[in-house]
Structure 1
Amino acid sequence: MPAKTPEERRAIGRIAIAARHHPNEPERQLEDRRTLRAAQAERYIRAIVDGAPPLTDDQRRRLAALLAPAPAAPTAGE
């Protein structure tokens, strides 16, 4: 697996500090965990794209749809 990016290393450090100094407040780690997962996903996706043949327009649209926000589910009163 490729080396971690500087962004990943910073997020890991911030998560560790928050966990050590505020073990009963996991919400302090939430944004850093989100940042870490996004950086890991970006590195993984980049490796796949760089090693694959060029995508068609349809393939790009389907993959982009996976990253688009899901529509809100109707609530019980709707």
Structure 2
Amino acid sequence: MPPEDDAHRVHCRLDELLAERGLTLTRLAELVGVTVVNLSVLKNDRAKAIRFTTLTAVCDALDCEIGELLVLAE
């Protein structure tokens, strides 16, 4: 089993994808139907979990695949 600490290797590329698409975090929050605070937690790699419905909505709004949004960091 993995260690029970806060460290994980999942990196969220939300900043890069927003910049590529000319969107703000606020606009994405409106499109997805979640708070800016929740998206900020995801964007800053502080999220410990994400609902599949939220993940799907973010990917739909950004027109991307899950693997473009979430990647494993070295």
* TM-score of the alignment, normalized to the shorter chain, above 0.5: no
Question: Taking structure 1 as the reference length, what is the TM-score of the superposition?
Answer: 0.29
Asked which structure has the greater CA Rg, the reply is 1
